[in-house]
Amino acid sequence: MTYSTVPITMRAYRAPLRSIPLHFSAACFTGALITDIAYSQTAEMTWANFSAWLLASGLVFGGLALLAGIIDIFRRRFRFAGGAAWIYVAASLAVFVVSFFNAFIHSRDAWTSVVPMGLTLSIVAFVLMIVAAIFGSITERRIVEGY
Amino acid sequence: MVRYRFTKAVTAAALVACSGAFLSACSGDEPDPGSEIGADPKLPEQSQYLIPPMHVAKVVGWKDGERPKVADGFKIQALASGLKHPRSVYTLPNGDILAVESVAPPEASAKRPKDLIMGFVQSFATGGGGGGNEGSNRITLLRDADGDGVAEVHDVLLDHLNSPFGVVLVGNDLYVANTDAIVRYPYKPGETKITDPGTVLTELPGGPIDHHWTKSLTASEDGSLLYVGVGSNSNITENGIQAERDRAAIWEVDRESGRHRIYASGLRNPNGLSIEPQTKALWTVVNERDELGPNLVPDYMTSVKDGAFYGWPYSYYGQNVDPRVMPQRPDLVAKAIAPDYALSSHVAPLGMTFASGTSLPADYREGAFVGEHGSWNRNAFNGYKVVFVPFAGGKPNGSPKDVVTGFLDGDEQARGRPVGVAIDKLGALLVADDVGNTVWRVSATQ
């Protein structure tokens, strides 16, 4: 049996630059969903305040991830390898855009800063992050395997 | 041409953005606020913003020779300028005038990112204008002995106060409402400096969160009771309902013992506490809630009934429920009463005084003067003037008339902003102009 390319295990793995900020961002947005749920159950303002900070932090890390992702393209740590890559990019950008609007919704005062629109957008962002994660791993495998 | 296309593209994008259900921050859809003045205002539908308008006038101050405009029959002059953020004025029986100069207490720590942004934007509204606020938090005594309308004497009567606002004299006791306490000082007519450290009569809700910090003060007709306005600690409970304990209310304080009770509640930010001369009823002007739209919720003036609940935070103008408050309280909404007279939205009335005497023009002898500090939560400015609401039989009767205007210049920059108002011993109207650092005296031309 011959390999047309070098086996995966033999390549030095270079982590994409966007990886770390993207994960921080995802953690922040996930946290915002959790604190939104906590607020919707308790009406305790502390939870809504947590959400607002988490969204703001997530957007900062998300912005860094966007820059890093562009650098990754130039460093050939990312390329549009098929439909999965496009879905990954679209879903990731959508998370950012949805959370951007969500940050403004969360700047309202008290209950309606979260319920219903803020919580809804947090759920949408969370679902989009799962989509991005699935298609991101497919894309990553394809890139690493050299498709 | 390229620039024109770019502008068009931006305009188009803005229009698309504006068409969103929750985006209403564009000036195009701000109707005239004139329909929401008077006893029965037409309230529009609520709209919640994606980005609330934060439009405050940049402070430029008064240049030499500039002064506000006044209605026909009046003239205006600066009783005193070069003050430091004067927020209220009060006339003593001997004709001396107290200008309460105060700075806001320090902001509470930021609870969320919005607090940082709001703090930055609002700093434009209070800064600038020359004079500065350093050394403020004091009461300056002004004396115009020769009656030319300009005070020759400026003496610091009391210094190192804690964000004072209200002041009232009963007998020989001078009461000052700092943001955290009512303090009593012995006063002798004619003196220009009080050295007594003062005695705390009653502590008031102050920091660490002290959102609406101005404590307006007046005394009952017989002098036995004091009424003090204690504003809410938030726009609409976003600092938690716990922070609102004993706030958004007018307290009645026993002048001898300091014992107090809530006289009326549900008043978001009551100021300008005054006794109506005919009925002897207590009146106040109230700053209503923000961020429900450019024309919601109209600020108002109202007589204050003992034990009444005026809605905040749960509802406004009776039973109009505010969806931002959770848990809701249908039991309290049911008993909320509507105020007497709407003044239009976001005009920010911070001072009120009833006309007295006969020295002002005939149309201005029965009614209330209201100092409207001016809007920030709508794109088109509203307020920034002193109006007169005519009264008959102890009730508002007719539309407000502009008395003092011209606080904004042609570029919509603030030369000054009116706050507290009072009538001096000769019957002229006094207006404290906080960012203009001036006390204006408005009198009849004859």
Q: Which residue of A has its CA nearest to B115?
A: A107
Q: Please report the DSSP string for B245-287 in residue order.
A: TT-SEEEEEETTT--EEEEEE--SSEEEEEE-TTT--EEEEE-
Q: Which residue of A has its CA nearest to B289?
A: A109
CA distances from B71 to B74, B76, B204, B407 (A): 6, 10, 39, 14
Is the peptide bond prior to B186 cis by the omega test (within 30 degrees of 0)? no
Question: What integer best gives the mean pLDDT of chain B?
Answer: 91
Tokens of A118: 């803020």
| pLDDT tens readout for residues A41-85 | 999 999 999 999 999 999 999 999 999 999 999 998 898 988 999
Contacting residues for A109 by C-beta, under 8 A, at least 6 apart: B234, B235, B236, B237, B238, B291, B324
| pLDDT tens readout for residues B150-184 | 999 999 999 999 999 999 999 999 999 999 999 99
CA dihedral B400, B406, B411, B412 (to 10 degrees): -40
Nearest to A107 among B114, B236, B323 (CB): B114
CB contact (8 A) between residue B113 and residue A113 = no
Contact B441, B79 (CB under 8 A): yes
| pLDDT tens readout for residues A96-106 | 999 999 999 99
Residue B198 has pLDDT above 70, yes or no: yes
CA distance A64 to chain B (A): 19
The residues in A 34-93 lying below 8 A from B, measured between CB atoms, are: 43-46, 48-49, 52-53, 56
Nearest to A49 among B111, B235, B324 (CB): B111
Q: If you compute the radius of gyration of chain A from its CA atoms, what whole number of angstroms results?
A: 18
Chain B hits for A105, CB-CB cut-off 8 Å, are 22, 50
Is the peptide bond prior to B106 cis by the omega test (within 30 degrees of 0)? no
| pLDDT tens readout for residues B65-98 | 999 999 999 999 999 999 999 999 999 999 999 9
CA distance B315 to chain A (A): 14
Could you identify the residue written with the tokens 């009849």?
B444
pLDDT at B223: 97
Residue B143 has pLDDT above 80, yes or no: yes
Phi, psi of B213 (to 5 degrees): -100, -10
Q: What is the mean pLDDT of residues B317-326?
A: 97
pLDDT band with cut points at 50, 70 and 90 for residue B22: very low
Residue B435 to residue B446: CA distance in whole angstroms: 30
CA distance B209 to chain A (A): 14
The helix (H) or strand (E) run that includes residue B227 is strand B225-230
CA dihedral B355, B356, B360, B364 (to 10 degrees): 40
pLDDT at B53: 87
Chain A hits for B323, CB-CB cut-off 8 Å, are 111-112
Residue B4 to residue B9: CA distance in whole angstroms: 9
Q: What is the mean pLDDT of residues B184-207?
A: 97
Residue A73's nearest CA partner among A88, A91, A57 is: A88
Could you identify the residue written with the tokens 């009833």?
B354
Residue A67 to residue A61: CA distance in whole angstroms: 10
CA distance B200 to chain A (A): 34
Contact B67, B150 (CB under 8 A): no
* Burial environment of residue B284 by CB neighbours within 10 A (0 to 12, 13 to 18, 19 or more): buried
CB contact (8 A) between residue B324 and residue A44 = no
Spell out a b/e string for B69-96, using b for 16 or more CB atoms within 10 Å of the CB, else e: ebbeebebebbbbebbbbbbbbbbeeeb
Tokens of A105: 């919704």
Is the peptide bond prior to B297 cis by the omega test (within 30 degrees of 0)? yes
At B91, which amino acid appears?
A: T
Q: Which residue of B has its CA nearest to A115?
A: B324
Residue B27 has pLDDT above 50, yes or no: no
Residue B351 has pLDDT above 80, yes or no: yes
Nearest to B326 among A43, A56, A107 (CB): A43
For residue B177, the Cα-to-chain-centroid distance in whole angstroms is 15
CB contact (8 A) between residue A52 and residue B112 = yes
Chain A hits for B52, CB-CB cut-off 8 Å, are 107-108
CB contact (8 A) between residue B324 and residue A117 = no
Interface test with B, best of A28, A107, A113 (most B CBs within 10 A): A107
pLDDT at A11: 54
CA distances from B330 to B243, B246, B318, B322, B333 (A): 21, 20, 12, 11, 5
Contacting residues for B205 by C-beta, under 8 A, at least 6 apart: B180, B230, B233, B245, B246, B247
CB contact (8 A) between residue A111 and residue B52 = no
Residue B224 has pLDDT above 80, yes or no: yes
Nearest to B240 among A45, A56, A111 (CB): A45
Contact B267, B336 (CB under 8 A): no
DSSP state of B408: B
Chain B hits for A60, CB-CB cut-off 8 Å, are none
Residue B18 to residue B35: CA distance in whole angstroms: 24
CB contact (8 A) between residue B49 and residue A108 = yes
Contacting residues for B238 by C-beta, under 8 A, at least 6 apart: A45, A48, A109, A110, A113, B111
Q: What is the mean pLDDT of residues A107-117?
A: 96
At B88, which amino acid appears?
A: S
Q: What is the mean pLDDT of residues B420-445?
A: 97
CA distance B377 to chain A (A): 13
CA distance A142 to chain B (A): 38
Chain B hits for A97, CB-CB cut-off 8 Å, are none
Q: Which residue of A has its CA nearest to B243?
A: A45
